[in-house]
C-alpha cells in the first residue's frame, strides 16, 4: 500500500526517474526506515548554522557522522521539479539552524546517487545520529517538509536502534526460538 501511495505522490509531484535500486528496507511506519551508514569515513567535519550546503562524496561520511540531523536533497539542474523544490528546501532550511540541509547534485555525484539507488529526483533523505531514517522521492510540500523535520527531531533513536536490532535478529532466523 505504501509503495502505491509513494508512486502516486511521486507522480503528483512530477518526480523524474533515475536508474538504480534502493538498498533501503522499509519498516512498520512508512515512510520512515532505518539503515546504518556502513562504510562511511569518520572524520571531524561539523557543519555550523547555514541554509544549505552542497554535499560531495569526499565530505559525505563526515557530514553524516558529525551532525545530529542531516537532511539531503538529491537533485539535478535539468530537473524541473527539482528547480521548483529548491526554493522550498532553502526556505525551510533557514528555519532550522541546528539541522544540516545538504544538496547532492546527482549529475556531479553519481557515486552517491548510486549508493542510495536514486531512481527519481528530487528525493529527500534524512539521517539522524548517523542512521538513515527517511527517504522519499518527489518534491515535498513546504508544510510537509517542516513537519518531517519536527518529527525527526522528536524521533527517539534508542527505540530506532532497538527496532534495528530486532530486525537484524529476524533476518538471522529463529535461532533457538520455538515456533
Please give the order of strands across the beta sheet that includes 53-54: 32-36, 131-137, 123-128, 69-75, 100-105, 53-54
Q: Does 79 qualify as catalytic in the annotation?
A: yes
Instruction: Name the grid cell of 65.
Output: 557522522
| Catalytic residue (one of 76, 79, 113, 152) | 79
Q: Are 106 and 75 in contact (CB under 8 A)?
A: yes
Q: Does 82 qualify as catalytic in the annotation?
A: yes
| Catalytic residue (one of 82, 112, 135, 152) | 82
Instruction: Count CB-CB contacts under 10 A for residue 166.
Output: 11
CA dihedral 128, 129, 130, 132 (to 10 degrees): -30
Q: Are 128 and 157 in contact (CB under 8 A)?
A: yes
Task: Cite the active site residues.
Answer: 79, 82
Amino acid at each position: 500500500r505504501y509503495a502505491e501511495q509513494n508512486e502516486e505522490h511521486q507522480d503528483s509531484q512530477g518526480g523524474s526517474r533515475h536508474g538504480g535500486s534502493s538498498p533501503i528496507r522499509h519498516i512498520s511506519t512508512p515512510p520512515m526506515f532505518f539503515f546504518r551508514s556502513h562504510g562511511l569515513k569518520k572524520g571531524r567535519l561539523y557543519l555550523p548554522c547555514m541554509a544549505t550546503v552542497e554535499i560531495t562524496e569526499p565530505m559525505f561520511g563526515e557530514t553524516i557522522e558529525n551532525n545530529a540531523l542531516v537532511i539531503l536533497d538529491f537533485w539535478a539542474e535539468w530537473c524541473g521539479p527539482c528547480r521548483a523544490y529548491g526554493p522550498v528546501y532553502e526556505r525551510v532550511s533557514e528555519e532550522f539552524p541546528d539541522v544540516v540541509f545538504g544538496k547532492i547534485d546527482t549529475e556531479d555525484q553519481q557515486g552517491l546517487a548510486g549508493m542510495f539507488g536514486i531512481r527519481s529526483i528530487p528525493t529527500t533523505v534524512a539521517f539522524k545520529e548517523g542512521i538513515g531514517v527517511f527517504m522519499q522521492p518527489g518534491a515535498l510540500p513546504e508544510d510537509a517538509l517542516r513537519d518531517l523535520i519536527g518529527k525527526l527531531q522528536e524521533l527517539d533513536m534508542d527505540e530506532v536502534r532497538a527496532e534495528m536490532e530486532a530486525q537484524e535478529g529476524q533476518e538471522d532466523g529463529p535461532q533457538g526460538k520455538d515456533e
